[in-house]
Amino acid sequence: MRILCFGSLNIDYTYRVDHFVQKGETISSKDLQIFSGGKGFNQSIALAKSGMEVYHAGAIGTDGMFLLEQMKQAGVHAEHVQVLDDVPTGHAMIQNDKDGDNCILLYGGANQAITTDQADHVLSFFHEGDYLLLQNEINITAYLMRKAHTRGMKIALNPSPMNEKIFDLPLELVDCLILNEIEASQLLANQISAQETGAAMAGYLKQKYPSAAIVLTLGEAGSVFLDQEQIFQKIYAVHAVDTTAAGDTFTGYFLGTLLQGGSVPKAMDRAARASAIAVTRPGAAPSIPSLEEVLSQELSCFS
């Protein structure tokens, strides 16, 4: 069983600010740093760092060659990433405020120029029982889901960033849905009240998508897994400097641990530890810890 992550690769321009810029306002940033990122890229790196063998597919422009190098250094198979001559690499403008929170403006670039020919070619290397991991930052997600399903592949979806395109996807084909509480409440729009608990939200998601295992992250309240069993995981308490890629780190470590034969509680715990460490460091992909760090850092649960 192998895993293919077909997803975005971005150049992240991260601006450190006191507060997020408001409508009509012009502010100066305190610092600019350029990082590797993109939800697909970050999740492939997290999968690889968890010890999983991972294949990444997607597209970049000629300005994004360093992303390919970083993937290879992390042990990700990058031969299915296309380099396009006429489209720039996708990028993100990220404001990182003094509390470590972020807001992100995306430019799709090559991530939005993926063709069905590329998808068919890449998927021809994968077979029944292999996993396809997707996010919502490339242009042919629905096509990939249907094609992968007809090949007998399992589909894991992180519906992030959440927008109206998610509602056009064949979500009934998803085998593992990994999302946060804001994405969950948008998927469940009109079905739940604002006061629902995480466990209740996971239950509603399971009713709506019965074929999918649900992995729901709940911020300070931890995370919950729901399939045949229900597992709760607390978060680890850390001082956050940059929350960018925390969700991607969780997704990669959760799936990577599980697909290497780990139990659900072990996968949830490793994912919580890895994402806690990631938020203590600036940047997206560079903040994702190695497995050695995840196993050796002493962390205490937030109660």
Contact set with ligand RIB (CB under 6 A): 8, 10, 12, 37-39, 42, 92, 104, 137, 244-245, 247-248, 284
Using the minimum distance from each CB to ligand RIB, give the nearer residue, 75 or 108.
108
CB of 284 to ligand RIB, least distance (A): 3
Rounded Cα distance between 212 and 203, Å, is 11
Using the minimum distance from each CB to ligand RIB, give the nearer residue, 45 or 176.
45
CB of 134 to ligand RIB, least distance (A): 13
CB of 91 to ligand RIB, least distance (A): 8
CB of 265 to ligand RIB, least distance (A): 25
Using the minimum distance from each CB to ligand RIB, give the nearer residue, 233 or 244.
244
Please give the structure tokens belonging to residue 200: 């209740």
Please give the structure tokens belonging to residue 57: 């597919």
Beta pairing partners, 6 = 57
Using the minimum distance from each CB to ligand RIB, give the nearer residue, 59 or 284.
284
Q: Given the DSSP bridges, would you call strands 54-61 and 230-233 parallel, antiparallel or unpaired? A: unpaired
CB of 248 to ligand RIB, least distance (A): 5
CB of 8 to ligand RIB, least distance (A): 6
Using the minimum distance from each CB to ligand RIB, give the nearer residue, 9 or 173.
9
Surface-to-core class of residue 290, CB atoms within 10 Å of its CB (0-12 exposed, 13-18 middle, 19+ buried): middle
CB of 111 to ligand RIB, least distance (A): 9
Nearest residue to 248 (alpha-carbon basis) of 152, 170, 153, 133: 133
3-state secondary structure of 34: strand
Angstrom distances, CA of residue 26 to CA of 13, 19, 22, 172, 196: 17, 11, 8, 44, 38
E strands of 7-71, at which residues?
10-16, 31-37, 54-61
3-state secondary structure of 226: strand
Q: Which residues contact 51 (CB under 8 A, 6 or more apart)?
A: 256, 257, 260, 291
Nearest residue to 142 (alpha-carbon basis) of 130, 131, 132: 132
The residue sitting closest to ligand RIB, measured at its beta carbon, is 37
CB of 137 to ligand RIB, least distance (A): 6
Q: What is the number of other CB atoms lying within 10 angstroms of the CB of residue 97?
A: 15
Using the minimum distance from each CB to ligand RIB, give the nearer residue, 245 or 267.
245
In the DSSP assignment, the letter for residue 74 is T
